[in-house]
A and B are shown apart, each in its own frame.
Chain A
């Protein structure tokens, strides 16, 4: 579906835009041409104007956001200035980052048919069917949208846009809230649509996804297009990307660290795991004997022994923080049936453990967290926290020992300022020196300067830090976090991981339910893999990433660096770029001693 007369899909000339009431221009003289059939990734830091730019493609800017605008935007050869948002919608489909709120009808079928019906298209049924089938969600057509998983919701929003058969599809952060497998699924669908002639524009933080799927990259910086380059060239400009808080894909970082030609820019960096492994082999990089001893000093397994179960053996003697014994738990469904999530479930959490709870959606991770927090009590079996049966204490009493941080930070903001949210627990429980404690916690989470603002108005990364601060002020022995890194850009994510590591000394045991394998690799020392309410593996990250069966069953994708390590036959598998670079680098002689 190319534009008329081979016109570019999108042509932006000298576009400047300022939101009503804003003190600065959001777009400043943007010039950009997107050819029909391209697969473009738009990248840039927060506030660089990515989303505003994309909203000019479908006319939301300036027709809905009626600010000061100059310059022009042509979509499929026609100027957007004199067309309505509704007219442009036939050319440009748009999927919002916050896709859940894009769904406005009760069932999937209704929602996908919403656009075609509103425009009065006689063939709305055929279009709806085609869109549902194209994304393989026709089997959930009759389901209520609030019952869908995040991934299915995203596909429904995408189908709603596709039902109008647009020639250009804009998707804002397709991978933000879904596990890696599902993100890949969405991208596979986009790739197929692209091969059928649809121009795809994505806003994306994940360099690895860009490397794998995009054909060209637009870097936005302070309201300008800094460059628009083919993907290999774009990803080689790691310094520019790092400025925009887009860390290079791990394969690029590895190649630049270990292959001088790539570092010097004489060679294109590899974009896939296979290419990277081949390049490293060719450069003669293989593990030096004894290099495994040089694993990150503060990392698990650092006791010198690469034995996979070392951390567990070490912890076996430590105190038990919580114990689940033969637990069964389920909930009722709307159809009146009962869905058992956990059955005959045993797990013991010990002091000084950093536990990652992984597994696909619906595997029972959140249920396990709410049982541990005492918000839910098991149907049969016992949950003990600090030696107390959760049935015998109320969740409120337990909150001095266990803190549960919800997945959506805005639900943790109960008052109108970060400071009073953090102070709520210590002040309510009349902790001596509550004020000093609050100040100290705010300082430690670097929130002092934001303490008087409403948590809802902070950026994603700041919101996560604020919820961590709330948790810290409760001074729990056991800290439970649900998806602490979801929908964060990579820099904020690293920030959260770093902060979690730094907090270890204040908390006896931390449990994180997550899809984020970087978090698992870089932070956890014990991984519990859940699948359909059962523990299918309970081990350390390196061993997990070396167990293909478990990975497949739980729909996990290891970080790239681990995959490269696997391809090079390293044992144990490396968990971070730093570690792998150290192990593959020529060894300085004094460290061999």
Chain B
């Protein structure tokens, strides 16, 4: 199948591991496989967690509350509290090391470059406060999103959306999209490998590694041409098959919808989840200083 060092020059190793430049450890390959498996674990909610057991409608309700809550205040203490709560939920939902790592990197990276910008342009400490606020808001919303979507496998998500009267096509698109992810990752890999093996060889890193960056960028862009065409070819069969299996553009029949959603059960725990979340948010707003 593939190696991994999409992001690293041939011959040397990726961040995952070894040190000498002329020795390949095999870790490079393992790490990409790891990223792929991690994505699939996230997508299919294999880790469990407190939200995974709940009815998808309750999870979506929980998510709406958590995602809206930070936007109605400019109070740093309230935002800190919401952020901490969201972080707690995300960990309890077992979002896994990959998402958490990416999230931290994104948040810290963004804060750092805005900080540099502010200082260079002669901002003062009020700017820092604003910066902290927006980071906390975005962070809280991102954590809640991750917690919700890690806990909903595509089937639950699309069932939940359908139960809330979203169009059937939307629900289908979500679960089909998830289904295609592993195929696309594999194929993308094979294609990138093809470029590495058959394309012009690597000629050193250049100043600050610009050659390497340019090469990775070029390969990533070029890989999309075959990827899109191959995917387009696949979908021809898919569309015909869906027609023969009763999923027309209008979606399945109403009876079909009822049967598909028959397994959804709203339990006391679901009510409790939504009520407790709403109460916690209300409490945070009530008891913490609002400015």
Say whether A23 faces chain B, with CB atoms less than 8 Å apart: no
Q: Are A377 and B26 in contact (CB under 8 A)?
A: yes
Say yes or no: is B19 at the interface (Cβ < 8 Å to chain A): no
CB neighbours of B190 from chain A (8 A): 406, 411
Measured between C-beta atoms, what is the minimum distance from A252 to chain B in Å?
33
Contact with B along A77-120 (1 / 0, CB 8 A): 00000001110010000101010111111100010001101111
User: Which residues from A are CB-within-8-Å of B242?
Assistant: 104
Q: A370-B1, A396-B201, A424-B198 are in contact. Are A115 and B246 (CB under 8 A)?
A: yes
Are A411 and B240 in contact, CB atoms less than 8 angstroms apart? no
B248 in contact with A86 (CB, 8 Å): yes
A406 to B44, CA, bound (A): 29
**Chain B residue contacts of A406, Cβ below 8 A:** 190, 194
Task: Please tell me which stretch of B76-84, B102-110, B118-126, B228-236 contacts chain A, meaning at least 4 of its Cβ atoms lie within 8 angstroms of it.
Answer: B228-236
A163 CB, nearest partner CB in chain B, Å: 9
Partner of A114, one of B237, B245, B255: B245
Q: A114-B247, A396-B202, A456-B233 are in contact. Are A106 and B179 (CB under 8 A)?
A: yes
CB atoms of B3 and A395 under 8 A apart: yes
CB neighbours (8 Å) of A547 from chain B are: none
**Would B10 and A394 count as touching, CB distance under 8 A?**
yes
A271 to B198: give the CA distance in the assembly, Å. 47
Q: How far is the CA of A119 from the CA of B244 in the complex (A)?
A: 11
A122 nearest CB neighbor, chain B only: B259
The reply on A290 being an interface residue by CB < 8 A is no
Q: Write the chain B residue with the least CB distance to A330.
A: B30
Contacts of A427 in B (CB 8 A): 200
Contact A58 B26 (CB under 8 A): no
**In the docked arrangement, what's the CA distance between A399 and B234, Å?**
30
A552 contacts B by Cβ under 8 Å: no
Instruction: Report the separation of the CA atoms of residues A542 and B278 in the bound assembly, to the nearest whole angstrom.
Output: 75
B154 / chain A contacts, CB cutoff of 8 Å: 106
- Cα of A100 to Cα of B234 in the assembled complex, Å: 9
A395 touches B30 (CB 8 A): no
Measured CA separation A122–B243 after assembly (Å)? 20
Within 8 Å CB of A64, what residues of B? 240, 243
Q: Mark A402-437, 1 if CB is under 8 A from B, else 0.
A: 001010001111111000000011011100000000
**Does A392 make an interface contact (CB < 8 A)?**
yes
A89 pairs with B37, CB closer than 8 A: no
Residue A592 is within 8 A (CB to CB) of chain B in the complex: no
Contact status of A58 and B201, CB under 8 A, knowing A105-B175, A411-B191 = no
| Residue from A100, A117, A399 within 8 A of B197 (CB atoms) | A399
Shortest CB-to-CB span from B226 to chain A, Å, is 6
Query: Are the C-beta atoms of B238 and A102 separated by less than 8 Å?
Result: yes
Name B151-167 residues within 8 Å CB distance of A.
153-155
B196 part of interface (Cβ distance < 8 Å) = yes
Q: Please pick, from A118, A335, A413, the residue contacting B226 in the complex, using a CB distance under 8 A.
A: A413
Within 8 A of A (CB), among B196-240: 196-202, 222-223, 225-226, 229-230, 233-238, 240
What are the residues of chain A within 8 A of B194 when measuring CB–CB? 406, 411-412, 414
| Whole-angstrom CA separation of A485 from B267 in the bound complex | 55
Known A-B contacts A86-B246, A375-B2, A414-B222; A395 and B197 likewise in contact (beta carbons under 8 Å):
yes
The interface size of chain B toward A, counting residues with CB under 8 Å, comes to 72
A428 close to B252 (CB less than 8 A): no
Q: Choose from A84, A89, A106, A424 the contact partner of B178 (Cβ within 8 Å).
A: A106
Residues of A within 8 A of B254 (CB): 120
| A410-B233 contact given A60-B240, A106-B155, A146-B183, CB 8 Å threshold | yes
B246 and A119 contact, CB distance less than 8 A: yes
Q: Judge if A523 is at the interface, Cβ distance under 8 Å.
A: no
A396: chain B residues at CB < 8 Å are 10-11, 196-197, 201-202
Residue of B34, B40, B179 most packed against chain A (CB within 10 A) = B179
Among A145, A379, A397, point to the contact of B10 (Cβ < 8 A).
A397
Assess the A120–B258 pair: CB atoms within 8 A: yes
Report chain A residues within 8 Å CB of B241: 94, 96, 101-102, 104
Report if A1 contacts B (CB, 8 A): no
Nearest-Cβ distance from residue A135 to partner chain B, whole angstroms: 17
Q: Is A124 an interface residue (CB 8 A)?
A: yes
CA of A144 to CA of B44, assembled, Å = 10
**Partner among B29, B236, B240 whose Cβ is within 8 Å of the Cβ of A376:** B29
Determine the distance from Cα of A323 to Cα of B210 in the docked complex, in whole angstroms.
37
Interface string of A356-392 (1 = CB under 8 A from B): 0000000000100010000111110000000000111
B176 touching A104 by the CB < 8 A rule? Answer: yes
> Within 8 Å of chain B (Cβ to Cβ): is A334?
yes
CB of A428 within 8 A of CB of B201, answer yes
Query: With the chains together, A69 CA to B85 CA distance in Å?
Result: 64
Identify which of B26, B34, B40, B257 contacts A379 (C-beta below 8 A).
Answer: B26
What residue in chain B is nearest A95 (Cβ atoms)?
Answer: B241
B interface residues (Cβ-Cβ under 8 A, vs A): 1-3, 10-11, 22-26, 29-30, 33-34, 37, 40-41, 44, 46, 153-155, 172, 175-176, 178-179, 182-183, 187, 190-191, 193-202, 222-223, 225-226, 229-230, 233-238, 240-248, 252-260
Could you show 17 A-B contacts with beta carbons less than 8 Å apart?
A86-B248, A89-B244, A98-B234, A104-B241, A114-B246, A120-B254, A120-B256, A120-B257, A332-B30, A375-B29, A395-B196, A395-B197, A410-B229, A411-B226, A414-B223, A424-B199, A456-B229
Given contacts A390-B24, A410-B226, A425-B199, 9 further A-B contacts (CB under 8 A): A86-B244, A101-B235, A101-B241, A103-B179, A117-B259, A119-B256, A366-B1, A376-B3, A396-B196
| Pairs of residues from A and B, 10 with the lowest C-beta to C-beta distance, nearest first | A120-B255, A118-B246, A428-B200, A394-B10, A394-B11, A118-B252, A101-B237, A102-B241, A120-B256, A115-B245
Residues on A lying within 8 angstroms of B by beta carbon are: 58, 60, 64, 84-86, 89, 94, 96, 98, 100-106, 110, 114-115, 117-122, 124, 144-146, 160, 331-335, 366, 370, 375-379, 390-397, 399, 404, 406, 410-416, 424-425, 427-429, 454, 456, 470, 474
